[in-house]
A and B are shown apart, each in its own frame.
Chain A
Amino acid sequence: MASKAPIYLDHAATTPCDPRVVEAMLPYFTQKFGNPGSRNHRYGWESEEAVDTARAQVAALLGADEKEIIFTSGATESNNIAIKGGAYMYEKAPAGSASRGHIVTTILEHKAVLDPVKRLMKEGFDATFIEPGPDGIITADLVKAALRPDTILVSVMWANNEIGTINEIPAIGALCHEKDILFHTDATQWAGKMPVNVEKDNVDLLSMSGHKIYGPKGVGALFVRRRRPRVRLQALVDGGGQERGFRPGTLNVTGIVGLGKAAQIAKDEMDKDATRLLALRKHLEQTLVTRLDSCAINGHLEKRLPHITNVSFGFVEGESLMMAVSEIACSSGSACTSASLEPSYVLKGLGVGDELAHSSLRLSLGRWTTKEQVDHAAERIIASVTKLRTLSPLYDMHKEGIDLSKVEWAKH
């Protein structure tokens, strides 16, 4: 097989750095290398100035005040600070008590939200994990039904990383504000791709990441609201008091400069990128759905990010599909247990697993994805699925009208 680089359709996993971002970062490695905490010389001042600029760029992307932006190592850390730091600060009873407070989140969250919440459960907090309907959308009504008098924190992702569905964030935020409950959103897949205004969207805490928006890895931000309400958090790490004490440690200046530049480009080019990617994604989905039977788009068909699609193909096994589409760099998923792939809890949550024997591909497009690449990928996928179906006894049975769920299988 030729060593031609695979077509990259995994932008929901990470994005390449924009060359403009790299260019902005470079001087801060070698020439302007000062510690922004050094107050007595030019090296420190120019570094601090660069961090201030980046903070303003990120704040502008989110419609926030510069003072409300905390730089972190990425969305995982932002989520941890927001969820654990928030829960500890707003707890109803001190550590050691049995009912320290109730947290509402969803089964669709990333592990970087689920695991902090699970840790809090071990420490005396209680939690509810909302399950969406088959469309995958978390609505304000679903959140409302999960609230309790002792709810202290709600954490709902803005858009889902596997299927791209968009949750009702402004309405959920309004609900939380009405009830004086702290509201966090993991906006890793949303911020920088779609417009954010933390005021209008009623968000108290928002996590975002640099490497999902054509910035560098290892840097992210947390928005912490300062007014109406002034959000307080208990720091998880102790140290030199940087980032208002929420996240001490010498600042990752190069990373922060990169994140700032990426945020500025994202803001400037958001409309253009989103319009182009939406058209490309729809074209890709149309091609697959019209040319393949037993092929379905997972999640709500309209309320989705422009650049992510998740498609299920019936009667095809996941690992063999990944082998067949090795010319495409993408993510796989399945709601059913496969011998070789972990089932996706997100797809399971949507009830996709109720249909036996399928596998799914998450295809996520990016700033430099071309129509030619998308067309080529679609052709490869169609050819691969078709080939695997000629091999699939289950596809034959389906064609003969046999209900696979009624067959008495010998489980091994």
Chain B
Amino acid sequence: MAYGPKIIEHYEHPRNVGTFGTSAEVKARPDVGVGLVGAPECGDVMQLQIRVNPDSGVIEDAKFKCFGCGSAIASSSLATEWLKGKTIDEGLAIRNTQIVEELDLPPVKIHCSVLAEDAIRAAIADYQAKHAGVGTPASSSAKH
């Protein structure tokens, strides 16, 4: 696969790799939302975690982990960069097409950007569910 320079750059130097704790710890943290999308059989799993300031509603930090191809890694890396400093609503406004454009994803890799958008929505939904006080959020098996 011949990738453009932006994908290669993110793949070689992924931003914001990591988590805000073990799966049990992040589940217990009210300021963290977790999105886990994709499936191992499909060759892509993205995990996106956001840390939100409850007073301002601003996403202060974001971390990702990704099992997937170079495009999937680059898409999720870019998503964390874009999320930082955005409000929840601004985060929800991010579209996969913007990721495609920014990274110059080849057509066969569009699904990676879709997955990244799904991960953003899942992480935000998880955070919101925690705050609506709706029991345990379905963070470890986010549907999309």
Residues of A within 8 A of B (CB): 315-320, 323, 336-341, 356-357, 390-397, 400, 402, 404, 407-412
Contact = CB atoms under 8 A, between A and B. Distances in A.
B67 interface: yes
Interface in B1-53: 1, 3, 11, 14, 17, 19, 22-23, 36-47
Interface centre among A339, A357, A408, by most B CB within 10 Å?
Answer: A339
B141 interface: yes
Nearest to A341: B43
Nearest to B108: A340
Contacts of B73: 320, 391
Main secondary structure of the interface of A (DSSP, over half): loop
Contact of A391 (B17, B36, B39): B17
Given A337-B41, A391-B66, A407-B140, 13 more contacts: A316-B67, A317-B44, A320-B68, A336-B40, A337-B43, A340-B69, A357-B45, A393-B65, A402-B23, A410-B141, A410-B142, A411-B39, A411-B42
A397 B24 CA distance: 11
Contact of B45 (A390, A393, A408): A393
A315 B67 contact: yes
Nearest to B8: A323
A412 B69 contact: no
A392 B39 contact: no
B70 interface: yes
B65 A407 contact: no
Can you list the 3 inter-chain pairs with the closest CB atoms, starting with the nearest?
A409-B39, A338-B43, A357-B40
Contacts of A397: 23
A394 B40 contact: yes
A394 B42 CA distance: 13
Contacts of A400: 22-23
Interface of B: 1, 3, 11, 14, 17, 19, 22-23, 36-47, 65-70, 72-73, 108, 111-112, 114-115, 118, 140-144
B64 to A, nearest CB: 8
Nearest to A356: B40
Main secondary structure of the interface of B (DSSP, over half): mixed
B41 A392 contact: no
B47 A336 contact: no
Nearest to B18: A390
Contact of B65 (A318, A340, A396): A396
Contact of A392 (B22, B23, B66): B66
Interface centre among B11, B17, B69, by most A CB within 10 Å?
Answer: B69
Contact of B36 (A357, A392, A393): A393
A391 B15 CA distance: 11
Given A339-B44, A391-B66, A394-B45, A319 B39 contact: no
Contacts of A340: 1, 43, 69, 108
A279 B69 CA distance: 34
B38 A391 contact: no
A412 B14 contact: no
Contacts of A394: 40, 45, 67
Nearest to B143: A410
Contacts of B108: 340
A336 to B, nearest CB: 6
A409 B141 contact: yes
B41 to A, nearest CB: 6
Contacts of A341: 43
A412 B111 contact: yes
A407 B66 CA distance: 16
A165 to B, nearest CB: 26
A339 B41 contact: no
A402 to B, nearest CB: 7
Nearest to A319: B69
Given A320-B73, A390-B17, A391-B17, A411 B41 contact: yes
A337 B1 contact: no
A336 B43 contact: yes
Contacts of B39: 409-412
B129 to A, nearest CB: 16
Contacts of B68: 317, 320, 339
Interface centre among A318, A391, A394, A402, by most B CB within 10 Å?
Answer: A391
B70 A392 contact: no
29 contacts: A317-B67, A318-B43, A319-B1, A319-B70, A320-B11, A320-B69, A320-B70, A336-B40, A337-B41, A339-B69, A339-B112, A340-B1, A340-B108, A391-B14, A393-B36, A393-B45, A393-B47, A394-B45, A396-B23, A397-B23, A404-B40, A408-B141, A409-B39, A409-B45, A410-B37, A410-B38, A412-B37, A412-B39, A412-B144
